[in-house]
C-alpha cells in the first residue's frame, strides 16, 4: 500500500468491503485505481451502470475585478476599436461560448466584500469611483457593474453567479440587490432597474453569501459567520418562480472545522451549496514561474494537485455525516494553479502565463470533480481572462487561447452527461524518489448514447499503453483529439498563439469493445466511442 498515491481522478485506497463482479474488478465507486507494475494501464468502464449526472456547472468560471480580467479583458467600452457588443469583446464571447461555458462567478473574490453594487448602476459618467484595495490599489470607476455583467452572461448564454458583500456590506444592501435583479412587480428596486433601462428581471438563481469570510471577507470565526449567513440568507428573497441557490462561504483548503460548523449550524435547509477554495502552489519554489521550470517543479505541482483529492474527500466526509442525502452541493468556486506574476507586470494583477503543465493539472482536476459528481455540483476555475490560470490572455486587440482553455473545450462533452463508473490500474510516474499515478481517467455517456473518455498521462517522458474494456456497451467506432507538445513548459504567446492546441488523435484502436490507446507522454486525450 505504501506505493499507492492519489491522482486527481482517483481514490486513496480500495475499500476492503467492496464487492467483485465475475471478472474480479471493483465497481462500487465511480473511479478507483491501483498500481500496475508492467508500465501500462488498464481500465474497465461499466457503460450500463451509470447513475450520477455530471453537472455542467462543474465546468464554471470565475471573473473578478482584479488586474486585467474585466478592464482590458471582457470590457473595452462601446467606443473601442476592438470589435465589441455594448462594450464587451466579441472574440472573448465567441471563444467562451465554444466551451459551452455553464456559469460565471462575479464580482469576486476578495473584491466582492468591498463592492457596493449601487455604485455600479445608472449612467456610467455619474458612477462614483473607489479604490480597489485588494488588487493593486488602482482606481475602480465602476463602469462595469450589474447591467454590464448580466449583459455579458446573456451574450455568453451562461448562468450568472453573483457573490454578495458580507464583509463590508449590510443585509439590507444585499436584499435590495436581489430585489433589483429578480423582482418583476412594482417596488423601489424594480422601478430603479426599469429606470436604468432593464424592464424584465434577470432571474439570477446562484448567489454567494460572502467570499472567504475566514480571510479577506472579514476574518470571521466560523461560528460568527454561520449566524451572519442565516441572517443574510433570510433576507435574500425568492421572487416569483425563481428559487435562489444560496452558496455559503466555505473553507480554505483543509480547514475541516469550518465545514463542520457550517453543516452543523446552517445545514441543508438554508443553503444550496457550501464553497471550498483550493489553489495549487509550488512547495519548492516560492517564486515559481509559470513557464520557466524543470522536471522537479513539474512533478511538484502535479503532486501538489493530488492533495485536492484528500482535502475534498475529507470535506465530503464531514458533509456526509450531517447530510447523508447529499442535499448540499460542494462548490469548488476557486481552484487552479498560482505562480509568480510575469516579469514586469503589476504584482497585484496576478497575471501569469499558462503552459502544457497547467492543461494537465486542469485535466486531472476535472476528472476528479467528475468522479465526485454526487456531491460536487459546481466549480469555478480562477480566473477566466488574464488572471492566474486563465483560459484567455489579451494584449490590447490581440487575444490567445491557453492550454487550459483547450482542456475545457475538449472536456465540454462531459457536461450534463451520465458518469460511468470505472476502475483504473496504472503504472506510476516516478521522480526524485516519489511517484504519482501516470494515468488519470473519466468517462461519461451523453444523451445520444455516445461514450466520452478523458485521459491524462502525467509522465513527461514515456508514452503509456492503456487498455480500456467497455462493458455493457455495443461499440463500433472511436475518434479523438489530443493536447500535447514537445516540452512540458510549452505555451502560447501572442507571437505564436497556436504552439499548444488540440490535434486529431489516431492512437486508439477498437476491437470487440476493447480499446487500446497509445497515450503520448505529458498529454490530455478525449475519445468518443459510438
363 and 427 together in one domain: no
Domain co-membership, 275 together with 294: yes
Question: Which of 309, 305, 231, 222 minimizes the C-alpha distance to 270?
Answer: 231
**Which of 15 and 467 is assigned the larger pLDDT?**
467
- Same domain for 45 and 129: no
Instruction: Tell me the average pLDDT across 13-42.
Output: 44
* Structural domain ending residue among the three candidates 386, 416, 446: 416
For residue 199, indicate whether it is catalytic: no
Q: What is the pTM of this model?
A: 0.92
* pLDDT score, position 39: 81
Which residue in 341, 392, 457 sits closest to 95, CA to CA? 392
Q: What does the pLDDT read at residue 365?
A: 98
Interatomic CA distance for residues 290 and 296, integer angstroms:
13
* Domain co-membership, 234 together with 349: yes
Q: How confident is the model at residue 306 (pLDDT cuts 50, 70, 90)?
A: confident
Instruction: Measure the CA dihedral 83/88/94/99, to 10°.
Output: 160
Confidence category of residue 37, pLDDT binned at 50, 70, 90 = low
Burial class (CB in 10 A: 0-12, 13-18, 19+), 312: buried
Evaluate whether residue 402 is within a structural domain.
yes
190 and 261 in a single domain? The answer is yes
Q: Are residues 43 and 61 in contact, defined by beta-carbon separation less than 8 angstroms?
A: no
- Cα–Cα dist 14/183, whole Å: 50
CB 514 within 8 A of CB 470: yes
Boundary (domain end) residue, out of 397, 416, 435:
416
**What's the rounded mean pLDDT across residues 177-189?**
97
Confidence of residue 24 (pLDDT cuts 50, 70, 90): very low
Instruction: Give the end of a domain, one of 363, 394, 416.
Output: 416
Domain count, the chain: 2
The β-bridge partners of 62 are 105, 382
Assess whether pLDDT exceeds 50 at residue 33.
no
> Is residue 203 located within the same domain as residue 320?
yes
**Is 18 contained in some domain?**
no
Work out the pLDDT band at 6, boundaries 50, 70, 90. very low
- How far apart are the C-alpha atoms of 307 and 364, rounded to whole Å? 12
Backbone angles phi, psi at 82, to 5 degrees: -75, 125
Active-site choice (303, 309, 334, 409): 334
Q: Which domain holds residue 444?
A: 31-52+419-529
Residue whose grid cell is 429606470: 195
Q: Are residues 71 and 164 in the same domain?
A: yes
**Dihedral sign, Cα of residue 340, residue 344, residue 345, residue 346:** positive
Q: Are residues 45 and 60 in the same domain?
A: no
Q: What band does 476 get if pLDDT is binned at 50, 70 and 90?
A: very high
> Is the CA virtual torsion 189, 194, 197, 201 positive or negative?
positive
212 is catalytic: yes
Question: In terms of domains, do 190 and 327 share one?
Answer: yes
65 within 8 A of 438, measured Cβ to Cβ:
no
101 inside domain = yes
Position 18 pLDDT exceeds 60: no
| Residue 449's CATH number | 2.60.40.1180
14 within domain boundaries = no
| Same domain membership, residue 366 and residue 260 | yes
380, 486: one domain:
no
Write out pLDDT tens, residues 335-362: 999 999 999 999 999 999 999 999 999 9
The neighbouring-strand residues paired with 46 are: 471
Question: Quick one: pLDDT band at residue 266, thresholds 50, 70, 90?
Answer: very high
Q: What is the mean pLDDT of the chain?
A: 93
Domain for residue 12, yes or no?
A: no
What pLDDT shows up at residue 31?
42
Q: Which one of the listed residues 212, 297, 303, 469 is annotated catalytic? A: 212
- Output the pLDDT for position 35: 53
- Whichever domain contains 164, its CATH number is 3.20.20.80
pLDDT tens-place string over residues 105-119: 999 999 999 999 999
Rounded average pLDDT over 481-510: 97
319/322 Cα distance (integer angstroms): 5
- Residue 9 placed within a domain: no
Please report whether residue 348 resides in a domain.
yes
Same domain for 404 and 470, yes or no, is: no
* Percentage of the chain exceeding pLDDT 70: 93
pLDDT (mean) for 157-180: 98
Amino acid at each position: 500500500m505504501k506505493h499507492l498515491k492519489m491522482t486527481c481522478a482517483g481514490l486513496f485506497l480500495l475499500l476492503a468491503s467492496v464487492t467483485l463482479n465475475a471478472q474480479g474488478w471493483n465497481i462500487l465507486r465511480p473511479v478507483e485505481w491501483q498500481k500496475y507494475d508492467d508500465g501500462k494501464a488498464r481500465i474497465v468502464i461499466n457503460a450500463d451502470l451509470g447513475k450520477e449526472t455530471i453537472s455542467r456547472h462543474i465546468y464554471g468560471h470565475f471573473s473578478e475585478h482584479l488586474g486585467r480580467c474585466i478592464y482590458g479583458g471582457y470590457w473595452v467600452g462601446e467606443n473601442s476599436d476592438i470589435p465589441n457588443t455594448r462594450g464587451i469583446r466579441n472574440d472573448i464571447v465567441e471563444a467562451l461560448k465554444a466551451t459551452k461555458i455553464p456559469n460565471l462567478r462575479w464580482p469576486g473574490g476578495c473584491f466582492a466584500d468591498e463592492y457596493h453594487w449601487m455604485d455600479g448602476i445608472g449612467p456610467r459618467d455619474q458612477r462614483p469611483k473607489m479604490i480597489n484595495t485588494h488588487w493593486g490599489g488602482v482606481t475602480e470607476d465602476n463602469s462595469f457593474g450589474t447591467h454590464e455583467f448580466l449583459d455579458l452572461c446573456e451574450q455568453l448564454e451562461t448562468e450568472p453567479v453573483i457573490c454578495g458583500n458580507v464583509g463590508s456590506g449590510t443585509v439590507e444592501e444585499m436584499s435590495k440587490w436581489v430585489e433589483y435583479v429578480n423582482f418583476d412587480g412594482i417596488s423601489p428596486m424594480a422601478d430603479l432597474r426599469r429606470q436604468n433601462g432593464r424592464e424584465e428581471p434577470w432571474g439570477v438563481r446562484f448567489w454567494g453569501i460572502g467570499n472567504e469570510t475566514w480571510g479577506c471577507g472579514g476574518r470571521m470565526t466560523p461560528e460568527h459567520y454561520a449566524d451572519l449567513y442565516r441572517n443574510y440568507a433570510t433576507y435574500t428573497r425568492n421572487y416569483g418562480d425563481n428559487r435562489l441557490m444560496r452558496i455559503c462561504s466555505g473553507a480554505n483548503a483543509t480547514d475541516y472545522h469550518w465545514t463542520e460548523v457550517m453543516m452543523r449550524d446552517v445545514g441543508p435547509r438554508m443553503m444550496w451549496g457550501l464553497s471550498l477554495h483550493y489553489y495549487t502552489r509550488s512547495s519548492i519554489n516560492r517564486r515559481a514561474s509559470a513557464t520557466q521550470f524543470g522536471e522537479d517543479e513539474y512533478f511538484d505541482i502535479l503532486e501538489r494537485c493530488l492533495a485536492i483529492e484528500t482535502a475534498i474527500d475529507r470535506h465530503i466526509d464531514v458533509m456526509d455525516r450531517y447530510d447523508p442525502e447529499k442535499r448540499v452541493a460542494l462548490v469548488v468556486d476557486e481552484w487552479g494553479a498560482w505562480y509568480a506574476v510575469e516579469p514586469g507586470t503589476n504584482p497585484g494583477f496576478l497575471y501569469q502565463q499558462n503552459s502544457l503543465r497547467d492543461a494537465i493539472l486542469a485535466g486531472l482536476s476535472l476528472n476528479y470533480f467528475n468522479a465526485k459528481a454526487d456531491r460536487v455540483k459546481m466549480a469555478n476555475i480562477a480566473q477566466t481572462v488574464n488572471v492566474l490560470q486563465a483560459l484567455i490572455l489579451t494584449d490590447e486587440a490581440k487575444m490567445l487561447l491557453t492550454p487550459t482553455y483547450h482542456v475545457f473545450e475538449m472536456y465540454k462533452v462531459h457536461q450534463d452527461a451520465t458518469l460511468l463508473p470505472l476502475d483504473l490500474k496504472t503504472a506510476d510516474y516516478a521522480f526524485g524518489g516519489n511517484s504519482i499515478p501516470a494515468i488519470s481517467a473519466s468517462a461519461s455517456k451523453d444523451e445520444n448514447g455516445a461514450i466520452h473518455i478523458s485521459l491524462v498521462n502525467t509522465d513527461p517522458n514515456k508514452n503509456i499503453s492503456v487498455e480500456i474494456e467497455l462493458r455493457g456497451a455495443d461499440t463500433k467506432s472511436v475518434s479523438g483529439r489530443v493536447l500535447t507538445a514537445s516540452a512540458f513548459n510549452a505555451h502560447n504567446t501572442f507571437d505564436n498563439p497556436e504552439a499548444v492546441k488540440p490535434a486529431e488523435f489516431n492512437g486508439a484502436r477498437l476491437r470487440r469493445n476493447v480499446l487500446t490507446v497509445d497515450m503520448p507522454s505529458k498529454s490530455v486525450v478525449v475519445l468518443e466511442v459510438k
